[in-house]
Structure 1
């Protein structure tokens, strides 16, 4: 796990992002519909879980690639937002995925981290593993960030 490589966030900010992704607010968005749960958020880092349920499978009996792509696209969001005290606008500009193994009847755990942060553009990476540690997929992202206006 990469968490140890990243500084903890100030307590209030860490709680803001955990509530944003695990609270009632999240149920209004696609990540909540899919069932993503944030487990950790630190400076430029986040870890999320996709709890397994059969509704996420595709007809061949493995977790649908779209659910995995959603996990990869979403796990980097709290990492991108970690320096902010208010939720910025975050837009995926580019995302590349590589599926390495099929996910079967296990929770999936993703880690996302920042590889380079510019003024309004952020470059990220993510990995998804099952609960046995098998690498399922990896992704690379570019995000556009627009800080929230005061007031």
Structure 2
């Protein structure tokens, strides 16, 4: 686990992110439909869980690649947002995935972290593992960050 490589968030930032995708707020967004849950957020790092349910399977009986891609794309959102005093607009502008294994009837855990920050572009990586620690998929992202104007 990479969490220990990243500093804890200050209290206010931790509060902002700990329930960002969990609970009622998440119910109205795609991450909630899929069922993603934030487990930990640190500076430039996040860990999320995709709880298994049969509806996430594809016909061969493994978790659908689209659900895994959603986990990879979403786990970096809190990592990207952790550097800002309020939640910015974050847009995926590039994402590359590599599937390395299949997941059958198990929760999946993803870790996402920042590899480089620019003024409005952030580069990220993510990994998805099964409960035994097998690497199921990995991804590389480029996000555009827009700070909303106060008003």
TM-score with structure 1 setting the length: 0.98
Once structures 1 and 2 are overlaid, which stretch shifts more, 24-33 or 122-131?
A: 24-33
The separation in 1 between residues aligned to 2:85 and 2:106, in whole angstroms, is 34
Once structures 1 and 2 are overlaid, which stretch shifts more, 17-26 or 60-69?
A: 17-26
Over the aligned positions, Cα root-mean-square deviation in angstroms equals 0.8
For structure 2, the residue ranges without an aligned partner over 5 or more in a row are: none
Superposed displacement of residue 83, structure 1 = 1.0
For structure 1, the residue ranges without an aligned partner over 5 or more in a row are: none
- Matching of residues 47-86 of structure 1 within 5 Å: 47-86=47-86
1:125 equivalent in structure 2 = 125
TM-score with structure 2 setting the length: 0.98
1:141 equivalent in structure 2 = 141
Superposed displacement of residue 35, structure 1 = 0.2
Superposed displacement of residue 23, structure 1 = 2.8
Superposed displacement of residue 84, structure 1 = 1.5
How many correspondences in the alignment?
151
Once structures 1 and 2 are overlaid, which stretch shifts more, 22-31 or 62-71?
A: 22-31
1:9 equivalent in structure 2 = 9
Once structures 1 and 2 are overlaid, which stretch shifts more, 16-25 or 122-131?
A: 16-25
The separation in 1 between residues aligned to 2:52 and 2:58, in whole angstroms, is 13
The separation in 2 between residues aligned to 1:75 and 1:137, in whole angstroms, is 13
> Which of structure 1's runs of 4+ aligned residues deviate more than 4 A?
none
